[in-house]
Amino acid sequence: MIPKVFKEVIDLGDGREISIETGKLAKQAHGSVVVQSGKCMLLCTVVSNYKQADVDFLPLTVDYREKFAAAGRYPGGFFKREARPSDGEVLTMRLVDRVLRPLFPKDYHSETQVMIQLMSHDDDVMPDAMAGLAASAAIQLSDFPFECPISEARVGRVNGEFIINPTRAQLEESDIDMMIGASADSVMMVEGEMDEISEEEMTEAIKFAHEAIKVQCAAQVALAEAFGKKEVREYEPEREDADLAQKIHDMAYDKVYAVAQAGSAKHERSAAFGEIKEEIKASFSEEEQEDFGGLISKYYSKAEKAAVRDLTLNEGLRLDGRKTDEIRPIWCEVDYLPSTHGSSIFTRGETQALATVTLGTSREANQIDMPSYEGEERFYLHYNFPPFSTGEARPIRGTSRREVGHGNLAQRALKGMVPEDCPYTVRVVSEILESNGSSSMATVCAGTMAMMDAGVQLKKPVSGIAMGLISDAESGKYAVLSDILGDEDHLGDMDFKVTGTADGITACQMDIKVKGLSYEILVNALKQARDGRLHILGKITETIETPNNEVKEHAPTMITRRIPNEFIGALIGPGGKVIQELQKETETTIVINEDPVTEEGVVEVLGVGSKGIDAVLAKIDSLLFKPEVGSVYEVKVIKMLDFGAVVEYVEAPGNEVLLHVSELAWERTENVSDVVNMGDVFDVKYFGIDSRTRKEKVSRKAILPKPEGYVARPPRENNDRGGRGRDSRGRDNRGRDNRNRDNRRDDRKPREDKKED
């Protein structure tokens, strides 16, 4: 039976469309859609178990995978099968998860999976921009308890004009690359990078994307209605007890408020809150504690959150005693590690990052091999968050999604300030040694200083700050918090991280938890973030004001040379023999690439110290050496022959030419060794290509004075004794008569011994 297909089309306004289709594929899933734009197609399926899991959180898994077959390619590596997700796929998973998760009920704990697959690729469509739309559309077709449809859209700006879901080519020309996630009513997530834009420009980009998202949300509603909106499933909600909640609130609120008001350090404050919680628990009998289960802890947490928020809104004070716009104490240090190419420590309050920089050739570039994108990164940043940084002991199971996301944010913040002509591949690694507040922003600051310490000529230093927001819809009060603590991250209404130079924003990441946040509040929050960012930037430049002019003594120096395409083979040598021996002799690393535009050879020479690099450059110069006609050059005898000497240009070792015996001296030379010997160094004049021999000609005698009374020898006579036996055109007629071929003797007899065929 042919399935009935339901479809909605979204007009992007510039001739492009996005279609959402259901009813054809994956019908046993609780919801499934195919989202298509151009030839790009995403399949999204959602499934959620009907039985609640025995946990106190939503076990939601968002999985995004790109199939290599979608682009007509094979997976790289030995095993020709897609394996663990790439960093790019992980980042897309995080973008979708952050928007979906808050819209499920807090007491919904069923195992839920959202699986998005790139099934067909289009070079002009970036699939990650449609992943959020696909996920939400599939959920709208299910019976999940989910608040409202959402979508995500990428916004770029080319020549001052905003573009929704730009192509990769357009994005390369854009000064903004932002992903916005929102419902029809509220912006919920923002993440992206910018070319030093203002806070107002960023807000305008968010508004533009939100208008497009409203249309996408409406299309999901229309599709669900056409398909047949399902009744929301029933599930067992968490137990609630309003009287108990009020009782615990009354017992805890004032005590928590007093501790919060005292402005203590993290461990001291945590211990004090823990004592209050234990006192409240102890006030209940064992039977009551067993009966209420986890409600006591749950309601205590609510009371603690309310008290801390009220303290900030009422008195402008925070958990550690700071004012809302106050930054924690900062200290910085560079050149801490003696063996790295660059290093720095950035400490802000109880957050500390140790950053290192490693310099390399293009061979060390980070290769990106995804069905939707192939390329390389000459600058990349890795972020590590070990459990000891928060005083915990827990298993380490590879790089977490959080580490990938935080590292990517810091990388995007810094990469625009690495000059395009930087000869190195630059790898920054951030080790988080302490964490209470934004470690990703500490990574940005530490990374800036480490690169300047390494001698990377950053255009401008970059700093970052994490901000928070506490608001009360009823009273209209709100407080923007600069440099938030870990606890403030959990109890606030917005967590946003902003990075930038003194002249504008370079990257941001926002998670907005409150509905209907006004753009006025958003702009005010961004401006307060700018003040904090500039304060931190001042601390960075106090430590290291400008990049070091040179790399460290033990760090490699990179020299780049361009050579004509035809010389690449000579430098490499047969089977790589020449370049391998040269690297071994000079203790350098030599990488040769071809410029795809000019087709020139780009030679990268990396080495510690100048001796080896100079030797390689001398070899390159010798390959490119072209003597000029009429010029005098110093040469060295490297081989003796009977008819001359082979000499090598001193300034271009390896370039040889024959100095003929007749060009050694004005006097007649019987033996070459009478004039020159092996190893002799002298000058010769270059005459270019000899018209008679078709070989390069040099002369020693041409730059020597003629002996007194010297008479040049007359030219030799021809062997035909004055030209006898030649016809009027100089051709040799000896032994020939003037008879025509037809006048040959016809009385010759055939050879008798000639065998017949």
Mark the binding-site residues, compressed into ranges: 489, 495
DSSP string, 689-700: E-TTT-SEEEES
Which residues belong to the annotated binding site for Mg(2+)? 489, 495
Phi, psi angle pair for 37, to nearest 5°: -140, 120
Residue type, 309: R
Based on its alpha-carbon atoms, the radius of gyration of the chain, rounded to whole angstroms, reads 39
Query: Hey, is 200 helix, strand or coil?
Result: helix
Residue indicated by tokens 């999985």: 63
Burial class (CB in 10 A: 0-12, 13-18, 19+), 375: exposed
Q: What is the largest CA-CA distance in the chain?
A: 144
Burial class (CB in 10 A: 0-12, 13-18, 19+), 286: exposed
Report the distance separating Cα 451 and Cα 426, nearest Å: 8
Report the distance separating Cα 153 and Cα 563, nearest Å: 45
| Closest to 179 (Cα-Cα) out of 486, 414, 412, 398 | 412
| Closest to 470 (Cα-Cα) out of 495, 446, 435 | 495
Show the tokens assigned to 123: 């070079």
Q: How many CB atoms lie within 10 A of CB 11?
A: 11
Phi, psi angle pair for 13, to nearest 5°: 90, -5
Show the tokens assigned to 701: 């005698």
| Closest to 720 (Cα-Cα) out of 729, 730, 710 | 730
Report the distance separating Cα 491 and Cα 301, nearest Å: 10
DSSP string, 653-675: TT-EEEEEGGGS-SS--S-GGGT
Report the distance separating Cα 500 and Cα 331, nearest Å: 19
| Closest to 706 (Cα-Cα) out of 666, 673, 675 | 666
Query: Hey, is 438 helix, strand or coil?
Result: coil
The answer to whether the Cα torsion of 202, 96, 441, 531 is positive or negative is positive
